[in-house]
Amino acid sequence: MMKQIKNLRSTAAIFLVMMVATAQAADNPRETPLVKAVKRARTAVVNIHSEKTATGGDALFGNGKNRKISGMGTGIIVDERGYIVTNHHVVNGVDSLRVTLHDGSAYTARTIAIDQRQDLAIIRIDPTGKLPVMPMGTSSDLMLGETVIAVGNAFGYEHTVTSGIVSSLSRDVEVNEKQSYENLIQTDASINPGNSGGPLLNLNGEVIGINVAIRAGAQRIGFAIPIDDARRVIARLISIERIDHNWHGLLARDVKQGAERQLVVQSASPDSPAAKAGFQPGDIVLRAGDLNVIDNVDLERALLNHTPGEAIRIAVRRNDETRTLQLELARRGPAPVTAESVVHVAEKSDEEETRGWQVLGMKLAPVSGQNAEIRGTRYRGGMRVTAVRSGSPAFLNGIRRGDILVGLHIWETVSEENITYVLDHAQFASFNPLKFYILRGGETLFGHLDAAAGN
């Protein structure tokens, strides 16, 4: 009997030791909240390497020797299919982009959409499998002195981690004559060249800002775009209308205040898929397909890559009840071909003889820099699209009557002479497909015109 008692005591002692060891391992004093935060978020951070061509001599006439310049930046995975957000200035004017993931795999990336004024861009890679998506926080309840962490490609040193505090909120910063920012987060976490586009994290490992700028000549003064501001821009940049040319017609607003994060329906456009599905003002969108929804980015992500007419289940909360609506997307391609917007080839006119009409399929009229749509932007003026020829490069790329053409390739377009200069340039063949920039609804959009198409 005594022997059995001793054996039981021995077994209990061993069990107690194992329990203590397990508890100690689970509560490793070295694994601080900061370490845990980095572990949670780091796999959704990517390193960006770029290459662009710099022209020596007179760039306007192409004189001088060209040379390649390498650049670097950081990005945040916002969708498992390979959509990544970074800064516009990281991808602006580059010839090529290379993205390296946390596991070391590398992919060629392409620019999907940009917002120059907000200095944000969406690029995309084609991964072999689903990617980890960055945990999203909110910038609505940031506290002065709160610990934050910056992760990025600092000076080309990939996945560099620095930490600091929130030094100030709502900073307005003018970087140069061409770029200024509003409502930035100021931090003393070290942000260096190459950090641009990377995440500023809280101690939960959630992104609360996108690192964007540093103060030259100062130490430990860096800035980040609040994530709530950035997510509103990202939603527009990855909208299904922009990427898939589909349409849902739902207008909803992000509501974020600390732990309260939800997408509230404001209205549904008349005769739109959302109106037909039965959305009502005040509905709170909970889920779209298999994705939980807290803001417009989640909604657009959930609707990406679906075909028109396909029914998508949307769960909403209405009057404390959960309801399921069936949303069938509709096609939203280039602007409709109408007598008012399209001049057919058979209709001869003076405008048809312009180079913009002949090569690109657009009738254009000058817009002054004092125009309400131009004023407050970076542009000195532009060319209003007054008509689009059916089947032309402009038509095939979704350019609409009312758009303002503000740039072709690397040049501004404020007059017909600017357009003629680009289209008759001796090196025009090397420009094709021709990059274009238009203003539409206060946003700068871009794309590429194949000048060999539609002629």
Answer whether residue 133 is part of any domain.
no
Of 127-131, 224-228, 447-451, the least confident: 447-451
Same domain, 363 and 324: no
- Nearest CA-CA partner of 232 in 253, 247, 262: 253
- In the prediction, which pLDDT does 335 show? 39
In angstroms, the CA 273 to CA 246 distance is 10
User: What does the alpha-carbon distance between residue 61 and residue 427 come to, in Å, rounded to a whole number?
Assistant: 9
What local confidence, expressed as pLDDT, does residue 168 receive?
93
Is the pLDDT at 332 greater than 70? The verdict is no
Last residue of a domain, one of 285, 300, 331: 331
Which residues share a beta bridge with 123? Answer: 84, 111
Q: Examine the domain organization and report whether 373 and 423 are in the same domain.
A: yes
- Do both 306 and 355 map to the same domain? no
Co-location of 391 and 315 in the same domain: no
Over residues 422-429, mean pLDDT: 79
Of 124, 148, 178, the residue at which a domain comes to its end is 124
pLDDT tens by residue, 244-260: 888 898 989 999 998 89
**pLDDT value, residue 24:** 47
Statement to judge: residues 359 and 437 lie in one domain: yes
Between the CA of residue 28 and those of 23, 32, 149, 204, 244, what are the distances in Å?
A: 8, 8, 21, 17, 48
pLDDT for 371 equals 81
Q: Domain count of the chain? A: 3
Q: How confident is the model at residue 10 (pLDDT cuts 50, 70, 90)?
A: low
Q: Dump pLDDT digits (tens) for 268-288.
A: 888 889 999 999 999 999 999
Question: Which one of 101, 124, 147 terminates a domain?
Answer: 124
pLDDT in tens, 63-120: 456 677 888 999 999 999 999 999 998 988 888 899 999 999 999 999 888 888 888 9
* Residue 231: band (very low, low, confident or very high) from pLDDT cuts 50, 70, 90: very high
In terms of domains, do 356 and 441 share one?
A: yes
Side chain identity at 227, as an amino acid letter?
A: I
Specify if 5 maps to a domain. no
pLDDT for 162-173, tens place per residue?
A: 999 999 998 888
In a domain, 80, yes or no: yes
Indicate left, alpha or beta for 249 from its phi (over 0: left) and psi (-120 to 50: alpha): left
What CATH number does residue 437 fall under?
A: 2.30.42.10
pLDDT surpassing 90 at residue 375: no
309 plus 385 within the same structural domain: no
Decide if pLDDT at 61 tops 50.
no
Percent with pLDDT over 90 in the chain? 42
Q: Does residue 104 belong to any structural domain of this protein?
A: yes
The CA-atom distances, in angstroms, between 369 and each of 175, 239, 421 are 22, 29, 20
* Whole-angstrom distance, CA of residue 255 vs CA of residue 273: 23
Residues annotated as part of the active site: 89, 119, 196
Alpha-carbon gap, residue 279 to 115, rounded angstroms: 29
For residue 22, tell me if it sits in a domain: no
Judgement on whether residues 445 and 359 belong to the same structural domain of the protein: yes
Is residue 33 a part of any domain in this protein?
no
Residues 52 and 118 in one domain: yes
User: What is the structure's pLDDT at 225?
Assistant: 95
Q: Are residues 308 and 275 in the same domain?
A: yes
Q: What is the mean pLDDT of residues 419-426?
A: 82
Query: Could you read off the pLDDT of 24-54 as tens digits, one per residue?
Result: 445 788 889 999 999 999 999 999 998 887 6
Q: Interior CA angle at 185 toward 183 and 191, to 5°?
A: 135
Question: Is residue 253 assigned to a domain?
Answer: yes
Tell me which of 146 and 333 has the higher pLDDT. Answer: 146
Residue 49 is part of which domain span? 45-124
Closest among 329, 302, 304 to 315, alpha carbons compared: 302
Q: Are residues 355 and 314 both part of a single domain?
A: no
For the residues 313-322, what does the mean pLDDT come to?
Answer: 94
Same domain, 442 and 368: yes
- Cα distances from 155 to residues 71, 96, 97, in angstroms, run 10, 19, 17
pLDDT at site 59 = 41
Q: What is the pLDDT of residue 15?
A: 57
d(CA 447, CA 210): 25
Residue from 280, 349, 338 nearest 314 by CA: 280
Is the residue at 338 inside a domain?
Answer: no
2 pLDDT more than 70:
no
pLDDT for 319: 92
Inform me whether the pLDDT recorded for 313 exceeds 90: yes
d(CA 264, CA 294): 9
Q: Highest-confidence range of 53-67, 80-94, 346-360, by mean pLDDT?
A: 80-94
